[in-house]
Amino acid sequence: METEFWSDQDNSVEFVKGSKTATCTFSQQRYVGKIKKLAAEHPNEVEIVAENKNSIVAHIPVSYVKISPPRQMSDEQRQAAGERLKASRKEREVEQ
């Protein structure tokens, strides 16, 4: 559904206290993709209301809304994660 509407710079989540559904508007592509994936995986819970080439508006359960600080990793944890990623990539190359 191609529609001309909100600014291509908006990112917002709105809901009324006590409601079960939130309305979200995203232009940031990582969230646009996440909403599309959630709608495909949970069609009874996530409804895409409108979208254009850069933005999306959807209704989602309020329980999907979460605010948390970014994960903090020590240098050792970051290095270990990098090594696991390298090993995983190498393993995939061997399988192909």
Mean residue pLDDT of the chain comes to: 89
Residue 93 belongs to a domain: no
CA–CA dist 67, 13 (Å, integer)? 11
- Tens digit of pLDDT for each residue in 54-94? 899 999 999 999 999 988 999 999 999 999 999 999 888 88
Residue 2 pairs in a beta bridge with 51
Question: Is residue 4 pLDDT above 60, yes or no?
Answer: no
Give the domain extent around 26: 12-69
Strand 12-14 to 21-26 pairing: antiparallel
Contact between 46 and 35 under an 8 Å Cβ cutoff? The reply is yes
Residue 60 pairs in a beta bridge with 22
| Domain count across the chain | 1
Q: What is the pTM of this model?
A: 0.68
CA–CA dist 60, 5 (Å, integer)? 20
Residue 7 belongs to a domain: no
Residue 82 belongs to a domain: no
pLDDT for the residue numbered 5: 52
Residue 64 belongs to a domain: yes
Residue 92 belongs to a domain: no
